[in-house]
Amino acid sequence: MSSTPSRIGPNSIIQTVGALETAYGKSETEKLLKKIGQGYLINNLPSEMVEESKFHSLVMALQKEIGEASTAKILKESGERTAKYLLKVRIPGPFQSIVKLLPAGLAFKVFLFAISKNAWTFAGSGEFTYGSKPSPNVMVKVTFPSHPVVGNFYLGTFTALLRELVNPKTEIKADIRKENGAIRCGYLCRI
């Protein structure tokens, strides 16, 4: 096992700060970031892969300062913003066009198979799995110390991606819990 810290995409932090600015305004967000020991992010958002610890420490500091409900809302929006970025910049247009033509069940499998090849970019040291039985489902297991509220980031991301690529009426039921020292983020998808 490598001793190099696992890295994840910078959008985890960029879009969380963006969601904070939308909710609280730029000035209040800067005050909040300073107060929770994350002031280094002000005018210094990452532009490349980041150590997953930086995202999880931001999540835990926000949860402690603004509470679970507010943090959940921010992270869900952050995930939705991340999905928009992925659709615009990372997921090739021709692939999107093909997936949208497929029946929902097949589109789900093809899309999640493609995502699984780069799951490390959001799961970090954790795990990512998906399946179609008994119904479509996605699971992200966060093994880095964090707070269960982090599951709302993935909820926002997967909901937005599946609604855009698989079925605009997609609904996801989240089951996020601590389990054996990790955070198990289960998403049952109705596509």
Cα–Cα distance measured from residue 129 to residue 113, given in angstroms and rounded to the nearest whole number: 9
Give the pLDDT confidence score for residue 4 in this predicted structure: 85
| Paired tokens of 88 | 């615009």
Please give the average per-residue pLDDT across 108-113, as a whole number: 97
Q: Does residue 115 carry a pLDDT above 70?
A: yes
In contact, 188 and 137? CB cutoff 8 Å: yes
Give the pLDDT confidence score for residue 68 in this predicted structure: 97
- Domain ranges in the chain? 7-190
The CATH homologous superfamily of the domain defined by 7-190: H-NOX domain (3.90.1520.10)
Give the pLDDT confidence score for residue 3 in this predicted structure: 67
In this prediction, what percent of the chain has a pLDDT beyond 90? 96
Q: Does residue 106 carry a pLDDT above 80?
A: yes
| Predicted TM-score of the model (pTM) | 0.95
8-62 confidence digits (pLDDT tens): 999 999 999 999 999 999 999 999 999 999 999 999 999 999 999 999 999 999 9
159: which residues sit within 8 A by CB, 6+ positions away? 79, 80, 83, 170, 172
Q: Does residue 1 carry a pLDDT above 50?
A: no
Please give the average per-residue pLDDT across 152-163, as a whole number: 98
Q: What is the DSSP letter of 147?
A: -
Cα–Cα distance measured from residue 65 to residue 163, given in angstroms and rounded to the nearest whole number: 32
Mean pLDDT, the chain, as a whole number? 96
